[in-house]
Chains A and B, each alone.
Chain A
């Protein structure tokens, strides 16, 4: 009986990485800025995105959204009220989006041409673990954290926080009643992702949205 060792040195998610690289090339040549929004369930990704889409529309920008959810299309219906094109991706139990799902849902999207968009937002499935491994071809990964979740979330989920390019604290209008310790939260985010840009926002009051929209505009021209 003979055995042999075959060296592979191959990425386990190579297929996803290749698909994502293809998507990234498409997004770049179409001139659309793509953002992947990740957070735990209940952070307020949809409310934040709703507000972002409305504000962008008000500024004459063209934005669209792909929304991941396990089973429902509730989020897509909510977001569509902003007037932006929105498409639901139902993962049917899978806890993250992958590049293949994104690619499939870009096909046959009525009325949407990538080249006509300024921004494409991909709202991931609410999960702070699994989405970190799956590149969707985005240029900016945004991690969201709400004041109701506790300041130590970044320390509990460093894999995802460390993979993000920007962080958004949501529901900042509830910081007082929740006893949210802002300093501790900012320190924790910075410990696991040194130097990351952080936005403190409220989709309800509009706090911090101007700064966020300015950032989006800056990133688009980069």
Chain B
């Protein structure tokens, strides 16, 4: 159960990446998670609210894009997606394939930021006008 540590690492990384956009609210965080990454989606979602509380990510949605395992088959000379994670065999020829090309990813793909409401120009302009009079 290391999903809380993972969630905390995501919050830290996103907070850092969102720093150049002051005041922006993080609406959504998209992850790429390989089938071999040993991360349980439900547990991560469960931890999300707790991990994001009192951070710029409060109320954000976590979207997890799951990636299947892809191996490179030497015999066929191609990359092939395997079904599940319990047998690393080329789906074309059935040979064991040790060369992993995808499946360990644990990445933040992108974040969606919502810019803060611009200051209401009406109010500001009126004040200035009154001062001038």
A residues neighboring B (CB under 8 Å): 1-16, 94-96, 129-130, 132-133, 155, 158-160, 162-163, 190-195
A192 CB contacts on chain B under 8 angstroms: 85-88
Residue contact B9 to A15, C-beta cutoff 8 Å = yes
Beyond A13-B6, A132-B36, 11 additional contacts (C-beta under 8 Å) are A3-B115, A6-B110, A8-B17, A8-B108, A12-B9, A95-B1, A129-B38, A162-B36, A191-B86, A194-B97, A195-B98
B61 CB contacts on chain A under 8 angstroms: none
Contact of A159 among B27, B38, B110 (CB under 8 A): B38
Which label, helix, strand, loop or mixed, suits the secondary structure of the B interface?
Answer: mixed
A95 CB contacts on chain B under 8 angstroms: 1-2
How far apart are the CA atoms of A5 and B113 in the complex, in Å?
6
Nearest B-chain residue to A195, judged by Cβ: B98
Nearest B-chain residue to A157, judged by Cβ: B38
How far apart are the CA atoms of A195 and B71 in the complex, in Å?
14
Contact A193-B98, Cβ < 8 Å, known A4-B115, A5-B110, A12-B31: yes
Q: List 27 A-B contacts (CB under 8 A).
A: A1-B115, A5-B112, A6-B21, A6-B112, A7-B110, A8-B17, A8-B111, A9-B108, A10-B13, A10-B17, A94-B5, A95-B1, A132-B38, A133-B38, A133-B39, A158-B36, A159-B36, A159-B38, A160-B38, A163-B104, A191-B86, A191-B87, A192-B87, A192-B88, A193-B98, A194-B97, A194-B98
